[in-house]
Amino acid sequence: MSGSPTDTGNAPRPSAKVLRAQAWSFIVLTVMTYLLVVFGAIVRAQGAGLACPDWPLCFGELVPALDFGVFFEWGHRALAGSISLILLGLSIWVASSAAGRKLLGKWLIAAWLVLLVQIVLGGLTVLQLLASWTVTSHLLVGNSVALSFGLLAVLLWRGYTPQPRPAIRKPILRVLLPLTAALLVAQMALGGLVSSQHAGLACVNWPACVGNLWFPTWEGPVGLHLMHRTTAYTVALSYVVVAVLAWDHDTLGKKARIALALVFVQVALGVANVLWQLPVEVTAGHSAVAAMLCLTTGLMVQDYLQRPAGGVESVPAQPSMGETA
């Protein structure tokens, strides 16, 4: 009987189980892509970016003989290929689920487009012999791939567990959050240029640049390094303001505090990179924290911009029992 105690509706519907499994799958894929971004930073720090001089093969082989450099470069490619295959499988799975198609739709297509751009940039990075524009673009789009997978996971998760969320009545955040995200993108682009143009030690001191000079010149590698430093201070200030404004709000406040903590760690790692002369471990950590900050910031922007202008967000209907895999 429909009114019996065993038919309370508390048990997840079949489609809800599918959405939960798909959400967790995209979370795993996000983690894998994050690790790929960090792995790429290690490849760069180890000077192994051209250990495989051709693309998509390595020395004309699918699986080359491995030495130290080839292990890093080919391993990076192998992990990237695995992520592409997993996304293909997940896409087929989502397409077979009415609930998944409804929640993701065009967003999954957008994620594929970003991934395809990243694949092309990966090839160009090798074929263009680590040109600055390819290295920097590869870094930025790689972080965008990880973020796109994370946003897909959020969409699926919210479809599985929809909950009303009160609006945040601070309109300034609607401007400040995208602005902070744009500053972060600019800072990451500058970081890519500093790395690819070997300007990481153009300033040998901190907080001054050379000796007692804070701003000896704005030209060449020194100027690029100084731009990276000064933008970092601006980015840090922006995150402080965001954290203060969002401090007492549910999930946005938590993400803002996490982002602020990541910013402080990132600044410390940047200083350590200069004072300790770019050790591989610190350089990799600097890239890892930047990628985590990118993910956190993207989720903050998505969380806030999808809230209602006032009142409480409406709760989307749970997928029906007919919307199963």
Report pLDDT digits (tens) over 262-303: 999 999 999 999 999 999 999 999 999 999 999 999 999 987
Position 73: which residue type?
A: E
**What pTM was estimated for this model as a whole?**
0.88
Q: Phi and psi at residue 213, in whole multiples of 5°?
A: -90, 125
Position 114: which residue type?
A: V
pLDDT band at 250 (very low <50, low <70, confident <90, very high): confident
DSSP state of 291: H
CA gap 89, 102 in Å, rounded: 18
CA gap 278, 18 in Å, rounded: 46
CA gap 82, 32 in Å, rounded: 9
pLDDT in tens, 82-108: 999 999 999 999 999 888 888 898 999
CA gap 117, 120 in Å, rounded: 5
Q: Phi and psi at residue 61, in whole multiples of 5°?
A: -125, 150
The residues pairing with 166 across neighbouring beta strands, listed in sequence order, are: 312
Question: Is 22:89 a contact under the CB 8 Å cutoff?
Answer: no
Torsion of CA 37, 40, 44, 47, to 10 degrees: 160
pLDDT band at 318 (very low <50, low <70, confident <90, very high): very low
CA gap 149, 131 in Å, rounded: 27
**Sign of the CA dihedral running 143, 149, 152, 154:** negative
pLDDT band at 163 (very low <50, low <70, confident <90, very high): low
Q: Where are the beta strands (DSSP E) in 96-216?
A: none
pLDDT in tens, 139-157: 999 999 999 999 999 999 8
Q: Please report, rounded to a whole number, the percentage of residues in the chain having pLDDT higher than 90.
A: 76
How many other CB atoms are there within 10 angstroms of residue 212's CB atom? Answer: 8
DSSP state of 324: -
Longest pairwise C-alpha distance within the chain: 83
Q: Phi and psi at residue 210, in whole multiples of 5°?
A: -130, 120
Which residues are CB-neighbours of 241 under 8 A, at least 6 positions away?
Answer: 176
**Sign of the CA dihedral running 231, 235, 240, 244:** positive
User: Which residue from 35, 68, 23 is spatially nearest to 158, judged by alpha carbons?
Assistant: 23
